[in-house]
Amino acid sequence: MMKRKIPIKEACVESTDQAVNAERNGADRIELCKNLDLDGLTPEINVIQKTMKSVNIPVKVMIRPRPGNFIFSHNEIKLMEQDIDLCKKSNVHGVVIGVLTSSGIIDTIETKRLASRAYPMAVTFHKAIDQTKDILYELDRLSRIQEISSILTSGGGKTAFKGQTMLRKIIDQYGRRFNIIVAGSITHENFDEIHGLINAQEYHGKNLIL
């Protein structure tokens, strides 16, 4: 199947109203969170259900129980599983997850556990990957978890612009295995410049849609 040439724009929002506005203004997909000031946490179930009823484009939900690092306890993982179950019952298109170990690599055991729990929803591994030391090595490890279909990344940079060299490497080496969703201070104002530099198929941002 041919990939579409027009890039997918994923709007990161924290309310149903924002999701509706994003769809109206041309978003192809929604990532629904709360507390974007804390880099996104799992939204309340009533917000998820209301959003699902209010938009016609795919909705992905952030699964992250607290701010801070991505090293989660056993109880936190169980809470994430419960949130994944609620998303599945609400017919959510996909979930966004990320778990690291205390040594700064991806926790593939817990990631596999959550990704398997989410199936058949789409699973995105989020920007926790940007906190690892060797993104390409971690992508190789993630590639063995078949339920993960997308990677959200800024290429290890603070912004997509700063991570552009690594982003091009990621797309070149793993763009056939994963949907690479480019993130990192991408707005409707700088989108054309970023796309010209990186030429990705998918982009993500809270200010990507007017």
In this structure, what CATH number is given to the domain that contains residue 26?
3.20.20.380
Q: By C-alpha distance, which of 34, 162, 59, 144 is closest to 153? A: 162
Q: Looking at the domain assignment, is residue 2 inside a domain?
A: no
- φ/ψ (deg, to 5) at 91: 60, 35
Q: Looking at the domain assignment, is residue 198 inside a domain?
A: yes
Q: Looking at the domain assignment, is residue 161 inside a domain?
A: yes
Beta bridge partners, 153, equal: 182
Instruction: Give me the domain span that covers residue 51.
Output: 8-205
pTM score, whole prediction: 0.96
pLDDT digits 0-9 by tens, 142-173: 999 999 999 999 999 999 999 999 999 999 99
Mean pLDDT within 9-16: 98
Q: Looking at the domain assignment, is residue 3 inside a domain?
A: no
pLDDT range class, residue 1, cuts 50, 70, 90: very low
Instruction: Kindly provide the b/e burial profile for residues 141-176, where b requires at least 16 CB atoms within 10 angstroms of the residue's own CB.
Output: ebeebebbbbbbbbbbbeebbebbebbbebbeebee
Q: Which helix (H) or strand (E) holds 24?
A: helix 16-24
Among the ranges given (3-7, 100-104, 126-130), the one the predictor scored with the smallest mean pLDDT: 3-7
Domain total for the chain?
Answer: 1
Local structure of 185: helix, strand or coil: coil
Local structure of 13: helix, strand or coil: strand
Task: Give pLDDT, residue 210.
Answer: 78
Q: Looking at the domain assignment, is residue 37 inside a domain?
A: yes
Reading the block at residue 191, the tokens are: 């989108």
Name the percent of the chain lying above pLDDT 90.
97
Q: Is the pLDDT of residue 24 over 70?
A: yes
Q: Is the pLDDT of residue 46 over 90?
A: yes
Q: Looking at the domain assignment, is residue 93 inside a domain?
A: yes
Q: Looking at the domain assignment, is residue 86 inside a domain?
A: yes
Q: Is the pLDDT of residue 5 over 80?
A: no
